[in-house]
């Protein structure tokens, strides 16, 4: 079954502006659309008629005002289509299909040996008969020029994984770093709402930093801003820094290896993974708590490094380890010891932050695809 982009003429400039406003509002009357778009009521009436004729807008009911007057309520029409967001994670694949007003239409998350392409196909089948307007794939990698003509990941293995997704032909595909996607989700719907500048520190299988300045993701000259895995480590006399050695040390696998190496028969069953280690710590296991507290101090040092360079005012902790509330007190204490006052909070979106941010980007790209508007920064 094909899920190709619906082809057709672009709406006029005013109709495109009204479409974008309607997508953001979900439902609105013509007076509301005029106010939101900053257009005259006659212009909006003409634009709505154009959108209805193209199937991009449809009436969804009637609103009654205090004076007894009624007005037609509009929503996106059947030709508006939808978008696809894919979190191509290191340990999982999360996929969402959304309408252009952000409504969730389908979702699937798989772990282990399930091919990511199967997860994508399952969601695409649920989107029928909606056409797919844009796809955003969040990858655990540096993405060079994500809005350019030919965006690509820095690592060949990740690029091959994206190619293997078998995404629908004829649909614009945009790539973005997974931590940047999670930072956008926290900015718009999570712990960083109302904060235009902050850092999103993700600690899990790997480590990364999403940097938001003035409401925009900071990308850097190579698209690698926030790649804190590249910080020199170890940085001690007589030791040579190792490429991405900090990520190896601070990642979940290394934490569990250090804990299990120190485990003794009297400690009971050794932790199977990071989640098990944290569960033991939460239950009061002394040795597990020792390693969790030590890791909190290490994450606090990472936060202090970010604060020293960025002075973000806020650091949001996320990821499989970073979001665990057991870390928060230790991270706050270590950051306070090493740097100037900086708020530290746990992420508010949870484990779906990356695919939520990718969905938001996909919706924005899909709207621009319909209207023909220039690609905006995010």
Tally Cβ neighbours within 10 Å of residue 126.
Answer: 14
**Longest Cα pair distance anywhere in the chain, in angstroms?**
81
Residue bearing the bigger pLDDT, 272 or 6: 272
Q: Let me know whether 279 and 164 are in one domain.
A: no
Q: Let me know whether 201 and 175 are in one domain.
A: no
Per-residue model confidence (pLDDT) at position 130: 56
CB 371 within 8 A of CB 10: yes
Per-residue model confidence (pLDDT) at position 294: 97
The CATH number of whichever domain residue 31 belongs to comes to: 1.10.10.10
Per-residue model confidence (pLDDT) at position 150: 61
Residue 357 confidence (pLDDT) above 90: yes
The CATH number of whichever domain residue 247 belongs to comes to: 3.30.420.40
Residue 25 covered by a domain: yes
Residue 7 covered by a domain: no
Tally Cβ neighbours within 10 Å of residue 42.
Answer: 10
CB 82 within 8 A of CB 134: no
Q: In the structure, what pLDDT confidence band is assigned to residue 142 with cuts at 50, 70 and 90?
A: very high
The last residue of one of the domains, among 22, 46, 79, is 79
User: pTM of this prediction?
Assistant: 0.91
Q: Let me know whether 20 and 40 are in one domain.
A: yes
Mean pLDDT value of segment 109-125: 93
Residue 378 covered by a domain: no
CB 249 within 8 A of CB 241: no
* Structure confidence by residue, pLDDT tens digits, 26-47: 999 999 999 999 999 999 999 9
Per-residue model confidence (pLDDT) at position 67: 62
CB 22 within 8 A of CB 52: no
Provide the sign of the torsion angle of the four alpha carbons 298, 141, 225, 199, taken in this order.
Answer: negative
Per-residue model confidence (pLDDT) at position 374: 53
* Structure confidence by residue, pLDDT tens digits, 55-111: 999 999 888 766 667 889 999 999 999 999 999 988 899 999 999 999 999 999 999
Q: Let me know whether 71 and 163 are in one domain.
A: no
Q: Let me know whether 173 and 293 are in one domain.
A: no
Residue 222 confidence (pLDDT) above 90: no
Per-residue model confidence (pLDDT) at position 8: 60
Q: Let me know whether 281 and 295 are in one domain.
A: yes
Residue range of the domain that includes 161: 81-183+354-371
Residue 73 covered by a domain: yes
Q: In the structure, what pLDDT confidence band is assigned to residue 375 with cuts at 50, 70 and 90?
A: very low
Q: Let me know whether 367 and 326 are in one domain.
A: no
The last residue of one of the domains, among 59, 79, 99, is 79
Q: In the structure, what pLDDT confidence band is assigned to residue 378 with cuts at 50, 70 and 90?
A: low
Q: Let me know whether 344 and 200 are in one domain.
A: yes
Q: Let me know whether 206 and 175 are in one domain.
A: no
Give me the number of domains the chain comprises.
3
Q: Let me know whether 300 and 151 are in one domain.
A: no
Residue 154 covered by a domain: yes
Q: Let me know whether 73 and 89 are in one domain.
A: no
Residue 9 confidence (pLDDT) above 80: no
Q: Let me know whether 332 and 201 are in one domain.
A: yes
């Amino acid at each position: 079954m094909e899920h190709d982009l619906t082809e057709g003429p672009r709406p006029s400039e005013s109709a495109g502006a009204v479409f974008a406003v309607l997508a953001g509002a979900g439902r609105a009357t013509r007076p509301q659309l005029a106010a939101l778009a900053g257009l005259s009521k006659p212009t909006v009436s003409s634009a709505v008629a154009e959108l209805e004729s193209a199937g991009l807008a449809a009436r969804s009911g009637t609103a009654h005002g205090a004076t007894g007057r009624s007005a037609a309520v509009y929503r996106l029409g059947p030709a508006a289509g939808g978008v696809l967001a894919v979190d191509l994670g290191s340990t999982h694949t999360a996929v969402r299909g959304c309408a252009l007003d952000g409504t969730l239409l389908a979702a699937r998350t798989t772990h282990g040996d399930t091919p990511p392409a199967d997860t994508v196909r399952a969601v695409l089948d649920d989107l029928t008969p909606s056409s797919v307007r844009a796809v955003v794939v969040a990858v655990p990698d540096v993405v060079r020029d994500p809005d350019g003509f030919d965006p690509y990941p820095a690592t060949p293995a990740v690029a091959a994984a994206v190619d293997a997704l078998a995404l629908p032909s004829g649909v614009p595909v945009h790539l973005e770093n997974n931590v940047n996607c999670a930072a956008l989700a926290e900015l718009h719907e999570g712990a960083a709402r109302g904060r235009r500048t902050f850092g999103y520190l993700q600690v899990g299988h790997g480590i990364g930093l999403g940097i938001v300045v003035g409401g925009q993701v900071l990308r850097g000259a190579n698209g690698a801003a926030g790649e804190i895995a590249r910080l020199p480590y170890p940085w001690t006399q007589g030791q040579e820094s190792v490429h991405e050695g900090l990520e190896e040390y601070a990642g979940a696998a290394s934490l569990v290896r250090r804990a299990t190496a120190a485990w003794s028969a009297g400690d009971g069953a050794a932790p199977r993974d990071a989640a098990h280690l944290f569960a033991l710590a939460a239950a009061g296991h002394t040795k597990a708590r020792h390693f969790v507290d030590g890791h909190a101090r290490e994450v606090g040092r990472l936060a202090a490094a970010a604060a020293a360079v960025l002075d973000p005012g806020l650091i949001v902790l996320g990821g499989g380890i970073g979001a665990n509330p057991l870390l928060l007190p230790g991270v706050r204490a270590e950051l306070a010891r090493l740097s100037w006052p900086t708020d530290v909070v746990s992420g508010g979106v949870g484990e779906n932050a990356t695919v939520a941010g990718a969905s938001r980007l996909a919706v924005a790209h899909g709207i621009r695809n319909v209207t023909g508007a220039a690609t905006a920064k995010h």
